[in-house]
Chain A
Amino acid sequence: MEAMLQPVADLFGAAWPAVWTLLKIVAIIAPLMICVAYLTLAERKVIGYMQVRIGPNRVGPMGLLQPIADGMKLLFKEIIIPSGANKGLFIIGPIMAIAPSLAAWAVVPFDDGLVLADVNAGLLFLLAITSMEVYGVIIAGWASNSKYPFLGSMRAAAQMVSYEVAMGFALICVLLISSSLNLTDIVMSQNEGRFADMGLGVLSWNWIPLFPMFVVYVISGIAETNRAPFDVVEGEAEVVAGHMVEYSGMTFALFFLAEYANMILVSILTSILFLGGWLSPVGFLPDGFHWLAVKTAFILLLFLWARATFPRFRYDHIMRLGWKVFIPVTLAWLLVVTVWMMSPLSIWS
């Protein structure tokens, strides 16, 4: 690979590292955008089947061209900026929504060594970047200068800050038992232990000893991405569409892209942190990216399943779940894990 690229590298000279990194970024973002497009189709299809409907089936064979048609429609729509809006911030809002959800992918490993930036503090970087996701919603809601968007953004601010705490505690448990902040190391540390030696890797992944954290992380992930049943931020019945009311065309599409990119991010992180990333569940099958894809797809299915199944939570119940249920549970399990690690029964040595 290196030798093959050498002539191209010579062509660019000193700028080659920057060009090479840009190419890698494109290689991550372009498939991600395609995944986002087809996740919207998958969502409509899956929910359709769950509700005994067919779902979109008009555009292309089995509706497969539907996301492209939707994208084209949004691309050609006019962007309307309300006269009372704060113009600069109105445009910055959607940009702030999508930027962190793409930036977070820099440290996500897809396979052993297949990562854009193999940094030691990868988990910390993720925590910092994902904590900035809320700004897009807040700025959009305020800049729209309208009641419903503002209410939506206030809800978003309170909800996302609350669930970040529980998510952070869940991550602390993971980094405690793998004693590393590097995501590749976290995956590799799940490949050790008695069951992994017996060829039953699936039993040595983090999801068994950290099962409560796994559940808390997935549910908080749904809340963080403002998906049903925690989608009071855009709750159509109460605040029309929340922060997105005044947005049209591509500005609206950016919020949409950010939401789905975040869903995929949370799913892939759950797979990496709790489900062994690219590791194979059984010893006789080889590890590889396909396992990560399968696990991520499964968590994404959980997201869609939850949306098709549960009615929307009432807002005070969301707050209660975050503060009075999840945080005590995570704190208690943190204590259990630390005591477990220091006891002779420790399975992580």
Chain B
Amino acid sequence: MEFKTFVFYFLAVIMVIAALRVITARNPVHAALFLVLTFFNAGGIWLLLQAEFLAVTLVMVYVGAVMVLFLFVVMMLDINLDRLREGFWSYLPVGALVGVLMLAEMAMVLGGSYFGLEAMPAPAEAAEGYSNTRELGRVLYTDYVYPFELASLVLLVAMIAAVTLTLRKRKGLKYIQPSEQVAVKREGRVELVKMQAEKED
């Protein structure tokens, strides 16, 4: 077996097991940590495909930031498993529909020969010195610059909306602006008063 094949199966087996544990683990924190493991292995498989930028971005964004905040929330939740299971039967039809759709899509990829996938040429072997990062950057900022900017604008709007939705101005906060704190001068706080010494007769 080629070393690359071995690495692929190694990553893929861990990934599938971890993905299964995400939905079977009883403890939500464990499930979130298994999701981290899944992402990490997916990043490894993308590295095998020479898509190092995507792999690193997956680890950086999903493992390094999104899942940290996810865990942050999940750890503080008091999750009652019985209450979670209450809506199981009412959600089942929707869930089943999504499941069947995903299964069909996976079947179409795996059974590609029946759907004329073989007509597509295999991707060309990357040349020496090929940089996935450089190539992606070139395409994103030349051919697809307007769609790219549009997507970033949509994200910006979503970000601002999320912040404004959760922003609550609380009254009576004793927060002090650090710039004001730093700007305090002695004259503003202390006043030296000259006065006669008081004597007791």
| A residues neighboring B (CB under 8 Å) | 89, 119-121, 124-125, 127-128, 131-132, 134-135, 138-139, 142, 150, 153-154, 157-158, 160-161, 164, 181, 316-317, 320
Chain B residues close to A by CB (< 8 Å)? 29-30, 33, 36, 43, 52-53, 56-57, 59-60, 63-65, 68-69, 71-72, 75-76, 131-133, 175, 178
> Which of chain A's residues has its CB closest to B75's CB?
A142
Give the complex CA separation of A317 and B182 in angstroms.
13
Q: Are B68 and A134 in contact (CB under 8 A)?
A: yes
Please list the 5 inter-chain residue pairs (A to B) with the smallest Cβ-Cβ separation, ordered nearest first.
Answer: A131-B64, A128-B59, A124-B56, A128-B56, A121-B52
Q: B178–A320 contact, CB under 8 A? A: yes
Residues of A within 8 A of B131 (CB): 120-121
With contacts A142-B29, A157-B71, A317-B178 taken as known, whether A164 is within 8 angstroms of B56 at the C-beta atoms is: no
CB contacts (< 8 Å) of B69 on chain A: these are: 157, 161
Contact B72 A128 (CB under 8 A): no
Task: Give the Cβ gap from B49 to chain A, nearest Cβ, in Å.
Answer: 14
Q: A150 — which chain B residues lie within 8 A by C-beta?
A: 75
Among residues of B, the one whose C-beta sits closest to the C-beta of A158 is B72
| Given A124-B53, A127-B60, A128-B64: A135 and B178 interface contact (C-beta under 8 Å) | no
**B175 contacts which chain A residues (CB < 8 A)?**
316
Bound complex: CA of A160 vs CA of B69, how far in Å?
Answer: 11
Main secondary structure on chain B at its contact with chain A? helix
Whether B63 contacts A131 by the Cβ 8 Å rule is: yes
Q: Is the interface of A mostly helix, strand, loop or mixed?
A: helix
Chain B residue with the shortest CB-CB distance to A119: B52
A153–B36 CA distance with the chains assembled, in angstroms = 17
The residues of B that contact A119 with a CB separation of less than 8 Å are: 52
Q: Which of B63, B72, B178 contacts A157 (CB 8 A)?
A: B72
Please give, as numbers and ranges, the residues of chain A lying within 8 Å of B36 by CB-CB distance.
135
Q: How far is the CA of A129 from the CA of B75 in the complex (A)?
A: 23
A212 to chain B, nearest CB (A): 19
Instruction: State the Cβ distance, A190 to closest chain B Cβ, in Å.
Output: 21
In the complex formed, the residue of B with least CB distance to A321 is B178
When distances are taken between beta carbons in the complex, the residues of chain A under 8 Å from B30 are: 89
User: Which A residues touch B72, using CB under 8 A?
Assistant: 138, 154, 157-158
10 contacts between A and B (CB under 8 A): A119-B52, A124-B52, A124-B60, A128-B56, A128-B60, A128-B63, A138-B75, A158-B72, A161-B68, A181-B133
**B residues less than 8 Å from A164 (CB atoms):** 64-65
How far is the CB of A311 from the nearest CB of chain B, in Å?
A: 14
Q: Return chain A residues, CB-CB under 8 Å to B71.
A: 138, 142, 157
| CB-defined contacts of B57 to chain A, threshold 8 Å | 124
How far, in angstroms, from A245 to B36 measured CA to CA in the complex?
25
> How far does the alpha carbon of A121 sit from the alpha carbon of B68 in the complex, in Å?
24
Q: Are A131 and B65 closer than 8 Å at their CB atoms?
A: yes
Q: Which residues of the partner chain B approach A134 to less than 8 Å between Cβ atoms?
A: 64, 68
Max chain B Cβ within 10 angstroms of own Cβ: one of A89, A131, A160, A164: A131
How many Å lie between the Cα of A153 and that of B68 in the bound state?
Answer: 11
Q: Check if A127 sits within 8 Å of B68, measured CB to CB.
A: no
A121-B133, A157-B72, A158-B72 known; 10 new pairs, CB 8 Å cut-off, are A89-B30, A121-B56, A124-B57, A128-B56, A131-B63, A138-B71, A138-B75, A142-B75, A153-B75, A161-B64
Residues of B within 8 A of A135 (CB): 36, 68
**Most chain-A Cβ atoms within 10 A of its Cβ — which of B53, B56, B76?**
B56
Known: A121-B53, A132-B59. A161 touches B75 (CB 8 A): no
Q: How far is the CA of A150 from the CA of B76 in the complex (A)?
A: 9
Given A157-B71, A158-B72: A131 touches B133 (CB 8 Å cut-off):
no
Determine which of A120, A132, A139, A158 lies in contact with B33 in the assembled complex, contact meaning CB atoms within 8 Å.
A139
Q: How far is the CA of A303 from the CA of B43 in the complex (A)?
A: 33
**A131 touches which one: B33, B59, B76 (CB < 8 A)?**
B59
**A164-B36 Cα distance, complex, nearest whole Å:** 18
Q: Which residues of A lie under 8 Å from residue B56 when comparing CB positions?
A: 121, 124-125, 127-128
Give the CA-CA distance A266 to B179 in the complex, in Å: 29
CB-defined contacts of B63 to chain A, threshold 8 Å: 128, 131-132
Separation in Å of the B101 CB from the closest CB of chain A?
32
Interchain CA distance A89-B75 in the complex, whole Å: 13
Of the residues A161, A316, A317, contact of B65 by C-beta under 8 Å: A161
Instruction: Report A-chain residues with C-beta under 8 Å of the C-beta of B133.
Output: 120-121, 124, 181
Tell me the smallest distance from the CB of B133 to a CB of chain A, in Å: 6
Write the nearest CB–CB distance from B155 to chain A, whole angstroms: 15
Once bound together, how far apart are the Cα atoms of A65 and B179, in whole Å? 46
Query: Which residue on B lies nearest to A125, using beta carbons?
Result: B56
Within the complex, the shortest CB–CB distance from A153 to chain B, in Å, comes to 8
CB-nearest residue of chain B relative to A150?
A: B75
User: Which residue of chain B has its CB nearest to the CB of A179?
Assistant: B134
Which chain B positions have C-beta within 8 A of A181? Answer: 133
